[in-house]
Amino acid sequence: MATLNSSWVHGVAEHITIDHVGHHGDGVNVDRPPVYVPFALPGEIVDAEVGDGRCRLVQIEQPSPERIDPFCSYFTRCGGCAIQHWQPTPYQAWKRQIVIDTLQQAGIDSAVDPLIDAHGAGRRRVTLHARYKASNIQVGFTEAASHAIVPIDSCPILDPALGGALNAARAIAELLEPMAKPLDIQVTAADNGLDIDVRGSGPISTALISKLSALAAEHKLARLTRHGELVLMRAPPVLTIGPARVTLPPGSFLQATMAGEDALAALVLQHCKGAKVIADLFCGIGPFALRLAVKAKVHAIDNDATAIASLQQAIKDTKGLKPVKAETRDLFRRPLVAQELRDIDAVVFDPPRAGAQAQAERLAASKVPLVVAVSCNVQTFARDAKILIDGGYRLHGVTPVDQFRHTPHIELVARFTR
């Protein structure tokens, strides 16, 4: 096995028996102070070097019968995937168990549904990193727990629609080499081509911008932006969301996979069935709002003004929707209060990883009959769920959704009622 990190400082080799896989994907022993061994599975006996608070798997003495060969040649070097070496059934059980354990630790008693696999065709957005070492340009992903770059030629977990992403990113990195600055190159697969936003270059000359524009045309990008500023647009990059077509803001947040968005939206629509007036909080570009608005009046709120502007335009351009109000508002600083929630039948909230503590506290003090929580962080979900439960809500179950296959990350959807 490869080392976890190229900056590894060699420690003392130890013989370790793995009891279980921890919440971050490492194998964990139980017969000593915890040791976390990357890429080790339950029941395995391994040799590992332990040093400086980290661990490196050296050799597997006794492999698990559940171990399988990873499908990517960069696995164990690239930090993108933590688990490709475990059979699907125990892997899925482990991921569901993370939700169960976290809820129990928070004192929440709830049913947890079977894990929904929402990998689909793969990731439709990716951030590639470009770094310059002497005369060498490295384009790829970072190593685990490191800023070092693993140069890659392909990534098997990406949607085929991102097929030209690596070549375009390398060409951009080569063109901007004179700047000698680390670059983050975010690529999104829109319905009509690749949308790329380049960050980290700093100010560049008019001549370089002209060359970037020619490069974008050569690679047939839908749009190329730099720090959100337009370089070239062959066509506005659009995504189909429910009945609408939405133009993406540069660097816009999206669910990682199309299957993931569809799975989460299906659960939200199912839980909100019958609601006539719905507040969609932390709405982004409207993956829930635009679907909900087919049958309900929607008030959609997010602090990202560019996302709200795109949503507002999509609302104008889409026929057959119930009334939708899209508003820019910082719900961390100014959460909706009980009086504003008075006429709402259901609230959907899908916050960033930090969760929505302030909004959960206001919901707990409200009389909204139905709350549907969507989360990408089990820990902050558990915190917010406890606030709702302590405020009188009943949790009717949690559904985990796996759109980040091969990683410890889990999405989930939960339904609360008064």
Instruction: Kindly list the catalytic residues.
Output: 376
Identity at 311, one-letter amino acid code: L
Give dist(CA 416, CA 348) in Å, integer. 10
Residue 170 token pair = 């390398």
355 burial class (0-12, 13-18, 19+ CB within 10 angstroms)?
buried
Q: For the chain, how many residues are written?
A: 418
**Sequence-distant (≥ 6) Cβ neighbours of residue 202 within 8 angstroms:** 179, 181
Closest by Cα among 314, 338, 340 to 326: 314
CB atoms within 10 A of CB 107: 10
3-state helix/strand/coil string of the chain: CCCCCCCCCCCEEEEEECCEECCCCCEECCCCCCCEECCCCCCCEEEEEEECCEEEEEEEEECCCCECCCCCCCECCECCCCCCCECHHHHHHHHHHHHHHHHHHCCCCCCECCCEECCCCCECEEEEEEEEECCEEEEEEEECCCCCEEECCCCCCECHHHCCHHHHHHHHHHHCHHHCCCEEEEEEEECCEEEEEEECCCCCCHHHHHHHHHHHHHCCCCEEEECCEEEEECCCCEEEECCEEEECCCCCCCCCCHHHHHHHHHHHHHHCCCCCEEEEECCCCCCCHHHHCCCCEEEEEECCHHHHHHHHHHHHHCCCCCCEEEEECCCCCCCCCCCCCCCCCEEEECCCCCCCHHHHHHHHCCCCCEEEEEECCHHHHHHHHHHHHHCCCEEEEEEEEECCCCCCCCEEEEEEEC
